[in-house]
Amino acid sequence: MPEGNQIHRFAEEHAAVFAGKRVHVDSPNGGFADAEVLDGHKLIRVDAIGKHLGYRFGRDLILHVHLGMYGDFKQGKMPLPPVKGALRLRIYTKSDWMELRGGTDTSIFTDEKWQLLRDRLGPDPLIPGSDPKPAFEKIAKRNTSIGALLMDQSVFAGIGNIYRAELLFRARIHPLRPGKDVNLASLKSIWKDAQTLMSAGVKDTRYVTTSAKDRPHPRGPVREEEERYVYRRHGKPCFICGTKIERAELATRTVYWCPNCQKK
Ligand SMILES: [Zn+2]
């Protein structure tokens, strides 16, 4: 599932090509019945919050997209590629196209509905000026594990499975530690770290969370197997202490940690 950094990247890429232009919108597989409502309108801008995209065509004319587990975009230069598969949405001009396959939601939101969505989501580390305090306050009251809370989009918006695992490793906090036992200084550093890592992840399509000094090969380009500390590294030695990385199911997704570096 794409995490917030990828969603923000899609917003930037789509805005760069389509914002300010009248666009064609259609739904070859019929999965987005309201496509014709948007067809021929000018796209004003593209907003991203957490894992949600909002293509703004007018005050009460916002195309909401949530990719879910399997949704994905492609884009390119005209002509349009042949229609195949579950092609739910296309946006195109004379020169460019983009396609959405899969996705759990494509629907038209009013401004009020978009605002309700924003209110329901926690602060997004990728939105400049987001205030993390409400998230810190929620976490301080909860017995729920910090590993589950980081994935809860009403606590923080945009953090997914890769960043959850890596942020907790970098903070040396065990994913099963109850939220209320994570002190404020740690939460503040997790937030700052999320801003840094996820911003880098908007530009870089890889998820690199390791510092050069911690990699077995600190010089030269980052090797694929050294991009992350714990995510999908179960059974392999921790870069810091050599202990085998463990994994378990948490909040319906697999979480990874070093049982020595990360304390409950
Ligand atoms: Zn370790």
3 is an active site residue: yes
CA–CA separation, 100 vs 13, rounded Å? Answer: 14
Q: Identify the active-site residue in 3, 99, 166, 227.
A: 3
Q: Identify the active-site residue in 2, 125, 132, 175.
A: 2
pLDDT at 102: 86
Q: Identify the active-site residue in 113, 118, 172, 253.
A: 253
CATH of domain 133-257: 1.10.8.50
Strand order in the sheet with 87-92: 24-26, 87-92, 96-101, 72-77
Count CA atoms within 13 Å of residue 202 on its CB side: 21
Q: Rounded to the nearest whole angstrom, what is the distance from the C-alpha of residue 249 to the centroid of ligand 1?
A: 20
pLDDT per position in the chain (264 positions), as tens?
789 999 999 999 999 999 999 999 999 999 999 999 999 999 999 999 999 999 999 989 999 999 988 899 999 999 999 998 889 999 999 999 999 998 789 999 999 999 999 999 999 999 999 999 999 999 999 999 999 999 999 999 999 999 999 999 999 999 999 999 999 999 999 999 999 999 999 998 889 999 999 999 999 999 999 999 999 999 999 999 999 999 999 878 999 999 999 989
| CB neighbour list of residue 211: distance below 8 Å, 6 or more residues apart | none
| Domain residue extents for the chain | 4-120, 133-257
Q: Rounded to the nearest whole angstrom, what is the distance from the C-alpha of residue 252 to the centroid of ligand 1?
A: 24
Contact 227, 236 (CB under 8 A): no
Task: Name the nearest CA neighbour of 247 among 144, 161, 179.
Answer: 161
216 is an active site residue: no
Q: Rounded to the nearest whole angstrom, what is the distance from the C-alpha of residue 145 to the centroid of ligand 1?
A: 20
Q: Rounded to the nearest whole angstrom, what is the distance from the C-alpha of residue 224 to the centroid of ligand 1?
A: 19
pLDDT at 254: 96
Residue 220 gets the label, from left (phi > 0), alpha (psi -120 to 50) or beta, of left
Q: Rounded to the nearest whole angstrom, what is the distance from the C-alpha of residue 207 to the centroid of ligand 1?
A: 20
Q: Identify the active-site residue in 9, 51, 56, 233.
A: 51
Q: Rounded to the nearest whole angstrom, what is the distance from the C-alpha of residue 79 to the centroid of ligand 1?
A: 51
2 is an active site residue: yes
CATH of domain 4-120: 3.20.190.10
Tell me the C-alpha to C-alpha distance, in Å, between residue 28 and each of 60, 68, 90.
24, 20, 8
CA–CA separation, 35 vs 202, rounded Å? Answer: 28
Q: Rounded to the nearest whole angstrom, what is the distance from the C-alpha of residue 237 to the centroid of ligand 1?
A: 8
Q: Rounded to the nearest whole angstrom, what is the distance from the C-alpha of residue 262 to the centroid of ligand 1?
A: 7
